[in-house]
Amino acid sequence: MSRTPLRGAGTALLTPFEAGGRVDEKALRSFVEWQVSQGIHFVVPCGSTGEAATLAPEEHRRVVEITVEQVAGRVPVVAGAGSNDTRRAIELSRAMKEAGATHLLHVAPMYNKPPQRGIIAHFRAIADAVDLPIVIYNVPARTAINMEPATTLELAADERFVAVKEASGNLAQIGDIIRNAPPTFAVLSGDDALTVAVMALGGDGVISVTSNATPRSVAELVERCDRGDLSAARRVDERLSAWTTAAFVESNPIPAKAALAMMGKMQNQLRLPLVPLAERHEPALRDALLAAGALE
């Protein structure tokens, strides 16, 4: 497998649900089409933002199938397939390939807390089993374990791993990876608030939560960083700053789902144990969307 570049702004897609709890396929198609038409560079269905933890296997596959159908080859589709059970991760990865995904997103195993060599063995077992380029995902706040730079760099030397979504929040760690990774291995910010900083260090883009509501602006921010126009990128970042803060006032994806409901893109339906945004946060969220240009 030759390494496929993955750069730019990718949206960690929300999954729309109907009031009865079923996946809202019509809203999903419309939402994916809007994302692509707004200039987002790739889409990431069925990650944590997409409530993958509460999707049944057949729902997970259907969400990716719909996303692939609607994208129609215009941008990459990086399907979440993570699990803390390596066998289950392999099974899900095979299903994602059959559904038409172009890449896989695999989070470091949560809850088990394997040593670093266990993380490497987990990812390599998946790569051995499924012939798709893999984006590895480091998010210690959710997994309770940090992928150390040496671990990421060992995987980066294998062309089957094409990128890392780095959500450690540790700029020194991210900078270490950027400096020492192969030039064809992308380092993507996993924190919207740090995208400009990561790209200023030489990073390649972001897998974004906030682009669910502001895809054009997040794509513009990344494009300006990529051209080296950091002053213009900072202006975009400032315009988005209130929304970037509001998007995480409660656990992701609670605020983002509320925002998209305000915008009329989907219903404000989540699956337990997630619950709708607390009412006290709604005025600030609406103001933030107005400031970002997502509401009129």
Catalytic residue among 26, 111, 113, 137, which? 137
Contact of 147 with 139, CB cutoff 8 Å: no
In sign, the C-alpha dihedral spanning 6, 11, 14, 16 is negative
Contact of 201 with 181, CB cutoff 8 Å: no
Distance CA 14, CA 32 (A): 10
Catalytic residue among 26, 111, 165, 265, which? 165
The pair phi, psi for residue 113, each rounded to 5°, is 55, 55
The verdict on whether 113 is a catalytic residue reads: no
The verdict on whether 165 is a catalytic residue reads: yes
Q: What count of Cα atoms within 13 Å lies in the side-chain half-sphere of residue 208?
A: 34
Residues 6+ apart with CB under 8 A from 128: none
Active-site residue numbers? 137, 165
